[in-house]
A = this chain, B = another copy of it.
Amino acid sequence: MKRALVTALAATALAFPLTAQEAPPAPSPAEIVAGADGSEWIDILPEDLLVMTLAPDRDGKARRVVIQLMPEPFSQGWIANIRTLARAGWYDGISVNRVQDNYVTQWGDPNYDNPEAEGEAKPLPEGLRVIDEGSYTTLWSDIPAVFSQAGEIITSRAQDLQRAMTGQSPMRGDAYAATTVLAEGWPLGLEDGKAWPLHCYGMVGVGRGMSPDAGSGAELYTVIGHAPRHLDRNIALVGRVIEGMEHLSSLPRGSGDLGFYTAEEADKRTPILSIRVARDLPAAERPRFEYLGTDSQTFARYAEARANRRDPFFIVPAGGADICNIPVPVRSTPATD
C-alpha cells in the first residue's frame, strides 16, 4: 500500500471496515473548499497585489512571489509607501538579506537594514509618508471599522463577530488575544473594542529598528515558521504571500546574528529583480487571485472541518483550532482583462 503522513488515497474501506458501509467518509477541508460556489470567492484588486520577481534559482527556474496587501483600515501609511517604492522602481535590485530558521525571511537594501552592511545605503524616493510612533495607532482599529468600511455593521460580518465573541467559533483558546476571528479575509485579534492583524505563517510585515522607529516599508519580511505572535501590535503587518511562498521559505539560512547572511556568504543573498503593483503590469502579465469569503457558508464549514478533522486519516478530532491553522483559501484565476 502506498502510504503518506496525510493522504487522500482511496483506502477508506480498508481503513474503516466497521463504518465504511454505513456512511461516506467525511470530506477533508480541501474537498469542502473545492465545492464552494463561485459567488463565495472574492476578487483581490490588482492595486492590492504585489508581484515580486526573484533572480532565477540555481537551475535557471523563474521565481515569482505574489503578495496580497491588507485592506483599510490596517497599516495604510506603510502600504501607501510600499506602492510608492514599487512605482519608483526602488525595490529593483535589492536582495533577501536575512533568513532565520523558524522565524522570518527579510528583504531590503543590503546596505541599510543589515548588521553585515558594507556599502552606502540607497536613497529613498520622494513622496514617502512620514511613519513615526503615532502611526502605530493604525496598527489596530476600532472593531466597527473592520466590519464595515462604510460605517454600518453588515449582518454576516456581525455574525462572524458574534460567533467569535460567544466562543462558538472554531478558533478558540488563543494565548495572545481575548478573541480571534477571520474577517474580511484576514486573521484578526479582538480585545477592548479593537482589532489587529496576526503574525501567521506567510504574513508580511515591515522591518524596523528600535522604537520609536516604525519602519518605512522599504524593508519587509515574511513569517517562515511557527507564528511569532508576540510580534502582533509591535510591528506593522501589511499583507501576506499568496503565491511562491516556497521561494522564500526554502532559502538557505544565514549564519550571522539573527540569520543575516554574513559578508562571506554574500553570494547567498537572493537578488530581487523587481517588485510591481499588479495594476501597473500589462494585462497579459497581471495575475488574478481570489479568496474564499470569510463570511461565506463554505468558509464556516471549512473552518469547522479544520478544527475537527473527521476525514479518514484522523482518529481523534481536536475540537478546536489555532487561528493560524485555518489559512484563508486563495486561488489564482485566469486573466480575463
* Residue among B16, B213, B257 making CB contact with A8, cutoff 8 Å: B257
Contact indicator per residue, chain A 111-144, by CB within 8 Å of chain B (1) or not (0): 0111101000000000000000000100000000
* Residue among B7, B99, B234 making CB contact with A258, cutoff 8 Å: B7
Contact indicator per residue, chain A 243-256, by CB within 8 Å of chain B (1) or not (0): 00110011111000
- In chain B, what residue has the closest Cβ to A108? B3
Interface pair B174/A246, CB less than 8 Å apart:
no
Interface pair B225/A5, CB less than 8 Å apart:
no
**Which of chain B's residues have a CB closer than 8 A to the CB of A221?**
5
* Residue among B5, B9, B172, B225 making CB contact with A201, cutoff 8 Å: B225
Known contacts A250-B253, A318-B175, A320-B175; A3/B230 CB under 8 A = no
Interface pair A213/B5, CB less than 8 Å apart:
no
- Give the docked Cα–Cα distance between A113 and B9 (Å): 12
- In chain B, what residue has the closest Cβ to A260? B4
- Give the docked Cα–Cα distance between A208 and B314 (Å): 11
Binds B, one of A72-80, A149-157, A305-313: A305-313
Interface pair B318/A249, CB less than 8 Å apart:
no
Interface pair A318/B229, CB less than 8 Å apart:
yes
Contact indicator per residue, chain A 161-204, by CB within 8 Å of chain B (1) or not (0): 00000000001111110000000000000000000000011100
Residues of A within 8 A of B (CB): 1-9, 11-12, 14-16, 58, 98-99, 101-102, 104, 106, 112-115, 117, 136, 171-176, 200-202, 205, 207-213, 219, 221, 225-230, 232-235, 245-246, 249-253, 257-258, 260, 306-307, 309, 312-316, 318-322, 324-325
